[in-house]
Structure formats: structure tokens, C-alpha cells
Amino acid sequence: MTTLDRLRDWNQSGAITEGQCELLSAVVRRERVSVFVELNAALYVGVLALVAGLGWTARTYFRDLGDVLVLGTLSLLVAGSFYYCLRHAPRYSHREVESEDLALDYVLYLGCLALSAELAYLAFRFELFRRYSDEGLLATVGVFAVLAYRFDNRFVLSLALASLAGWFGLKLPAFGFTFTSPHAVRLSAIVYGSIVAGAGAAMYWQGIKRHFLDTYLHVAANVLFVAVVSGTGGVSSRSTLARWRCCRPPRSSSVCGSRGSRSSLTEPCMATRASASP
């Protein structure tokens, strides 16, 4: 019995699905198999690792490197990334736009992460910027949102939504909400989820990037789901607080937001959903 025969038997017995059978059969026959998702994930992780390495180096050796070198390097990286995107991106349209430049999404993601790293370094080194760190975080929400719509990138949009969640986590205590109370956490999560869902619906009704609606609804649904589950009595206030803090500024996801993919969740929101499951 050949390997193909065994695969057919497994398919007929229900051990594997039809799609799995076709994929494995193609591998056995040495046909071409798409690895777009895997390569896309590897490239996004590579960009994240690069910026994380730059941030760690700057934070660890800033006394030896100096603020001018660190900020100059990050500024050049941000400016170069955005200049490349502006030069190679197609014209803006309210509809979904496919770019012929395969590197555009990754360069844009690199520029956004480098901008976040630069703002974090400014807040780390200078008291003036630290004093207005929450306003700076809110500013990144607007910058990421503009870039997401200009370059038609769901992943950058998810970064904007995650940054907005981080701003909620920083700003609400200033309005009298304390995160030691599960009710305050639940209320802030419901407000955040409602704002995200409402913003997505408003942009959809205006006919602006209607394919972004999935991203808005995915993020809002995850946050609202955790907020509702936390009120059933089966979730402790500590776990609720941890889940809400998971939605702080972006760390990244593997394949989310890739062009042509309908999966648009950020990693923090996926972690939220996973931790809420029984």
C-alpha cells in the first residue's frame, strides 16, 4: 500500500479532512505547495525581532552610545521606511488596494515599530516626554490609523487599536477609575470595545475601507467577550486585570493583517481569547 492509499483511507475513515488529504497528497507527489503564510509570518517576526533588538541595545548601552546616536538611528529608520512606502505605494482609494511591492507591508511595519521604540526611548530618557507619555501614546494611535488607511494595511490598524487599548489603561485611572476593582476593569473594557466597534461601523457606512470592518469587530468582540465572561463569577478579578493589560501597546502577531488575509487580530487580543476559553 502506497502513502497515497493510506492518506485516502485516513480520509475515508475521518482521521483527516479532505483539505488535509489534498495537501498531504500534494506533498507526497512533490507538487508545489504554497508557503506564503509561513514566509509572511517569518518576515513579520523578523521585523519584530530587529526592532526589539534595537530597543534592547539602546536601553542597555545608552550611556555608551549616547542619546544622539540612538535617536538619530531610530529617526533615520523611521524616515527611511516611510519614504520608501510613499514612493512605492499605489494611489489612495476608499476601496481595497493591492500593492505590487511585496516589501511594502513589512517596511511599513518596521517604520511603525521603530517609531514606537523612539517614543519609548524619549519617555525613558527625558522627564519632559515622560510627563506626556500618555498623550504620546494617543498620538501614535492617530499616526498608525492614518498609515493603515493610507497604505491599506490591516496589521498597522491592529497596532493602532492595541495602542488605543494601552491609552485606556493609562488614562482611565486619572479619571477616578482604579484597576484594582473588577467592575472598573469590566466597564473600561466595555467602553473600549464599544468605541472600536462603533468606529468600524461608522467607517463602513461611509464606504471607507470597508474590508477593515473585520479587524474592528474582531478586536471589539474579543474585548467585549472577556468583559462579559468576567461578570459571570467564574473569572477572578486578577485574571480579568491580566487580560485587560494584555491589550496594551502592540507586540505583534504572526500572520495577522497580511494583505489578502482576513485574519486581523493582534496578538494581545488572541491571548485574551485563549485565556478566556475553558
Per-position DSSP letters for 14-53, written without gaps between them: TSS-HHHHHHHHHHHTT-----HHHHHHHHHHHHHHHHHH
Q: Which has the closest alpha carbon to 195: 183, 187, 185?
A: 187
Is 251 in contact with 201 (CB distance < 8 Å)? Answer: no
Domain residue limits, the chain: 35-276
The model carries a pTM of: 0.68
Grid cell at residue 4? 497515497
Which residue is it, cell 494611489? Answer: 91
Is 266 in contact with 159 (CB distance < 8 Å)? Answer: yes
Rounded Cα gap, residues 141 and 224, in angstroms: 20
Grid cell at residue 121? 526611548
> In the prediction, which pLDDT does 232 show?
59
Rounded Cα gap, residues 221 and 236, in angstroms: 20
Is 96 in contact with 152 (CB distance < 8 Å)? Answer: yes
> In the prediction, which pLDDT does 47 show?
82
Number of H helices, E strands in the chain: 13, 0
Q: Is 237 buried (19+), middle (13-18) or exposed (0-12) by CB count in 10 A?
A: middle
CA dihedral sign, ordered 8, 14, 19, 23? negative
> In the prediction, which pLDDT does 62 show?
77
Is 159 in contact with 117 (CB distance < 8 Å)? Answer: no
> In the prediction, which pLDDT does 33 show?
63
Rounded Cα gap, residues 150 and 157, in angstroms: 11
Is 115 in contact with 140 (CB distance < 8 Å)? Answer: yes
Long-range contacts of 231-234, Cβ-Cβ distance < 8 Å, separation of 24 or more: 231/186
Rounded Cα gap, residues 144 and 257, in angstroms: 13
Cβ-based neighbours of 65, under 8 Å, separated by 6 or more: 57, 58
> In the prediction, which pLDDT does 63 show?
79
Is 249 in contact with 266 (CB distance < 8 Å)? Answer: no
Rounded Cα gap, residues 55 and 154, in angstroms: 24
Cβ-based neighbours of 120, under 8 Å, separated by 6 or more: 55
Please list the rounded mean pLDDT of every run of 10 residues in the chain (278 residues).
Answer: 81 85 78 72 82 82 84 92 92 87 88 90 86 85 94 92 82 53 74 92 94 93 86 52 46 40 40 39
